[in-house]
A and B are shown apart, each in its own frame.
Chain A
Amino acid sequence: MKRLLLSAALAGTATLLAGCGGGSSGGSDPSQFGGDPSLPDQQRALVPSMKIADPTPWGSHHPVVPAGYTITAIATGFGIARQTLVLPNGDILVAEGRGGGESALRPKDLIAGFIKAKGTSQAKSGNRLTLLRDADGDGVYEGRTVFADHLNAPYGMALVGGQLYVANQDSLVRFAYAPGQTKASGPPVTVTELPAYINHHWTKSLAASADGRFLYVGIGSNSNITERGMAAELDRAQIWQVDAATGAHRPFATGIRNPTALAIQPGTGQLWAVANERDELGPNLVPDYLTSVREGAFYGWPYSYWGQNVDSRAQPQDPAKVASAIRPDYGLGSHVAALGVAFSNPAMGARFAEGVFVGEHGSWNRSRPSGYKVVFVPFRGGRPAGPPVDVVTGFHDPGGATFGRPVGVTVDPRGALIVADDLSNTIWRMVPARRAPGAEAPARPAEPATH
């Protein structure tokens, strides 16, 4: 009897363990780029495939950019640099902070929290906006002031006329802003509270409509796949449209698991988003995506992904919602963790004249990591056309050492790509070589210099 039980138990174990060990394909699978990504079968391994970034100082390493471009560290030492905003006079605002802080509900949460924290910055949350200024246009940002502090994990920023809007992890606030200002003239005014209960995905992304009447706020889900209960997902995984004048809001699009960055397309005024999809279905599920955001649309989370691919982990299921789910426009690859998006312009050079830059933070749920770079998605006729092109790489070496992790990307209309790196807490600036006479000089802080 003992023997029988034991062999039954071991047979069960062997069957279950057979699910392990999948997913050795390195980097992103090219078949997952674009409008019709390949979607393999769901995997449920006992231990998800994973690789945690090994934070390493830059030392003699530096980010790698295409020929004809240079990249410089223009400032470092932030309290976790997430997103940036280029102001009309060329000043750069950096939003610093770390939000979240959900309590562990399961043994897994304790263990996973401990493991994942090893791959991120140990810096204290700054909870402020820092302003960087290059007064003489030589590419060296010699001015640095705290524009506003005592914020609560600020992330998204948008300037509309004389108002600077900032999305904290729990509220949308605004400051009056006059050109040239280096410090806010007073405490912010709250436009509206934002969903903050638990705040598993705490980042609140922000964009302003072309006419400035509306603000769009990206609000991530409160879980990977509803493991904190459906009730915790009230008002989550949506993009809100907020009336800038009154603070009134309504859901603009729903079922977007984690819309981590928003951008308005120049010319058309169309809202675009990058979003992070769900984990623990295998190394090649589910592709993160870039999409134009259709008003009133439902993008599937939690019931399904990429249209009607049902995720039975979310219970009870809602077949009517699954049927209504629409497919995003463009797959970026699974677990790349897109956290930044910005439309380019011709000042960035012919290669990057039309399209978007996407900052890919890189994620844990893959034994051979994807992301950890900035890519460019070329557009033609206002729509994505062609696979993503690597723009800034070298954040991660194949041995696992990770020097930086890109988050926000912003295009300076004068022809510069600003990249926030929340691991080395550096702001990087990539420019076409001919446009940056000052950029050949070593970076101002004793940091990795030019390339």
Chain B
Amino acid sequence: MAADVRLAGPVHPLHAFLLAAPVPLFLGGFLSDLAYGSTPEPQWSNFAAWLVAGGMVFVGVALLWALIALLRSRAHGGRVRLGAVFVLLLATFVVGLVDSLVHARDAYAIMPAAPVLSAIVTLLAALAAWAGSSRLGFWSPGPAHAQMPSGEVL
């Protein structure tokens, strides 16, 4: 059954870039949060706040792109992929927004929520990037990758 899902090709290269860019930024935010947790040096929390904010810029644009592409897409396989990308990006955006607000707190008030949220948002951003760029849809085991259709670029 799953093998019947036909996937369109990976997303547009620029969209792929927008999907990938937040991953290292959120990861940097997470690592900075860990550094702040082990040294009460607030410069680390400043770094984390900017890194998360930077990730959110790319997530926001990628989310908008995914929405428009989803609305314009007619192929079933494309809609499955874009739907997954959209949902994962939306989750990334929501968690990232909460993470940004937590990072706006002063000094140690960001703990312990900040590293937890930054870890979740990093993971979600990575899943969104994977969903958008992988030839093999991770949700779709089986030979789907062998049945790439017309190379529709979304």
Query: Which residues from chain A sit less than 8 Å from chain B, CB to CB?
Result: 1-2, 5-6, 8-10, 12-13, 16-17, 44, 46-47, 105-108, 111-112, 223-230, 279-280, 312-316
Does B120 contact A228, Cβ atoms closer than 8 Å? no
Residue in A44, A111, A229 whose CB lies within 8 Å of B42: A229
Q: Is residue B41 contacting chain A, with contact meaning CB distance below 8 A?
A: yes
Does B43 contact A2, Cβ atoms closer than 8 Å? no
Stretch at the interface among B18-26, B88-96, B143-151: B88-96
* Docked pose: A227 CA to B41 CA in angstroms: 9
Q: Nearest Cβ distance between residue A317 and chain B, in whole angstroms?
A: 9
* Docked pose: A295 CA to B30 CA in angstroms: 45
Given contacts A5-B127, A8-B120, A312-B108, 15 further A-B contacts (CB under 8 A): A2-B88, A9-B94, A46-B98, A106-B46, A106-B104, A107-B49, A108-B103, A112-B104, A224-B107, A225-B106, A226-B107, A228-B42, A313-B107, A314-B108, A315-B108
* Docked pose: A17 CA to B101 CA in angstroms: 10
* Contact residues in B for A10 (Cβ distance below 8 Å): 91, 94
Q: When A2-B139, A312-B108 are in contact, do A9 and B95 touch as well, CB less than 8 Å?
A: yes
Q: Nearest Cβ distance between residue B95 and chain A, in whole angstroms?
A: 5
* Docked pose: A316 CA to B127 CA in angstroms: 37
* Contact residues in A for B91 (Cβ distance below 8 Å): 5-6, 9-10
Q: Nearest Cβ distance between residue B134 and chain A, in whole angstroms?
A: 14
Which 7 A-B residue pairings sit nearest by Cβ, starting from the closest?
Answer: A315-B40, A108-B104, A227-B106, A46-B101, A315-B108, A227-B107, A313-B107
Does A223 contact B94, Cβ atoms closer than 8 Å? no
* Docked pose: A229 CA to B109 CA in angstroms: 14
Q: Is residue B113 contacting chain A, with contact meaning CB distance below 8 A?
A: yes
Does A46 contact B120, Cβ atoms closer than 8 Å? no
Residue in A6, A16, A107, A280 whose CB lies within 8 Å of B87: A6
Quick one: closest A residue to B36, CB to CB? A315
* Docked pose: A310 CA to B148 CA in angstroms: 61
Q: Nearest Cβ distance between residue B71 and chain A, in whole angstroms?
A: 20
* Docked pose: A46 CA to B104 CA in angstroms: 8
Q: Is residue B67 contacting chain A, with contact meaning CB distance below 8 A?
A: no
Chain B interface main SS type: helix
Quick one: closest B residue to A42, CB to CB? B109
* Docked pose: A105 CA to B127 CA in angstroms: 31
Quick one: closest B residue to A105, CB to CB? B46
Q: Is residue B123 contacting chain A, with contact meaning CB distance below 8 A?
A: yes
- Interface membership of chain B positions 106-125, coded 1 if the CB is closer than 8 angstroms to chain A and 0 otherwise: 11110001001100100110
Does B123 contact A44, Cβ atoms closer than 8 Å? no
* Contact residues in A for B87 (Cβ distance below 8 Å): 2, 6
Q: Is residue B53 contacting chain A, with contact meaning CB distance below 8 A?
A: yes
Q: Is residue B32 contacting chain A, with contact meaning CB distance below 8 A?
A: no
Does A226 contact B42, Cβ atoms closer than 8 Å? yes
Q: When A227-B106, A227-B107 are in contact, do A13 and B43 touch as well, CB less than 8 Å?
A: no
* Docked pose: A112 CA to B98 CA in angstroms: 17
Does A47 contact B101, Cβ atoms closer than 8 Å? yes
A-B contact pairs, 28 of them (CB 8 A): A2-B84, A2-B87, A2-B88, A6-B87, A8-B120, A9-B94, A9-B120, A46-B101, A46-B102, A105-B46, A106-B45, A106-B49, A106-B50, A106-B103, A107-B49, A107-B53, A107-B100, A107-B103, A108-B103, A112-B104, A223-B106, A225-B107, A226-B42, A227-B45, A229-B42, A280-B105, A313-B107, A314-B107
* Contact residues in A for B95 (Cβ distance below 8 Å): 9, 12-13
Q: When A106-B103, A106-B104 are in contact, do A313 and B109 touch as well, CB less than 8 Å?
A: yes
Q: Nearest Cβ distance between residue A404 and chain B, in whole angstroms?
A: 29
* Contact residues in A for B101 (Cβ distance below 8 Å): 46-47
Quick one: closest A residue to B88, CB to CB? A2
Q: Nearest Cβ distance between residue A309 and chain B, in whole angstroms?
A: 15
* Docked pose: A315 CA to B107 CA in angstroms: 8
* Docked pose: A229 CA to B106 CA in angstroms: 11
Does A2 contact B127, Cβ atoms closer than 8 Å? yes
* Docked pose: A10 CA to B98 CA in angstroms: 10
Q: Nearest Cβ distance between residue A436 and chain B, in whole angstroms?
A: 46
* Docked pose: A1 CA to B139 CA in angstroms: 9
* Contact residues in B for A316 (Cβ distance below 8 Å): 40
Q: Nearest Cβ distance between residue A421 and chain B, in whole angstroms?
A: 29
* Contact residues in A for B123 (Cβ distance below 8 Å): 5
* Docked pose: A19 CA to B91 CA in angstroms: 20
* Contact residues in B for A6 (Cβ distance below 8 Å): 87-88, 91
* Docked pose: A5 CA to B88 CA in angstroms: 9
Does B98 contact A107, Cβ atoms closer than 8 Å? no
* Contact residues in A for B102 (Cβ distance below 8 Å): 16, 46
Does B108 contact A229, Cβ atoms closer than 8 Å? no
- Interface membership of chain B positions 41-61, coded 1 if the CB is closer than 8 angstroms to chain A and 0 otherwise: 111011001100100000000
* Contact residues in A for B53 (Cβ distance below 8 Å): 107
* Contact residues in B for A105 (Cβ distance below 8 Å): 46
Contacting residues of chain B (57-93) with chain A, CB-CB under 8 angstroms: 84, 87-88, 91
Quick one: closest B residue to A228, CB to CB? B42
Residue with the highest number of chain A CB atoms closer than 10 Å, among B40, B102, B108, B127: B108
* Docked pose: A107 CA to B40 CA in angstroms: 20
Does A280 contact B50, Cβ atoms closer than 8 Å? no
* Docked pose: A307 CA to B147 CA in angstroms: 71
* Contact residues in A for B120 (Cβ distance below 8 Å): 8-9, 12
Q: Nearest Cβ distance between residue A18 and chain B, in whole angstroms?
A: 12
* Docked pose: A226 CA to B127 CA in angstroms: 36
* Contact residues in B for A280 (Cβ distance below 8 Å): 105-106, 109
* Docked pose: A13 CA to B46 CA in angstroms: 22
Does B98 contact A108, Cβ atoms closer than 8 Å? no
Does A13 contact B94, Cβ atoms closer than 8 Å? yes
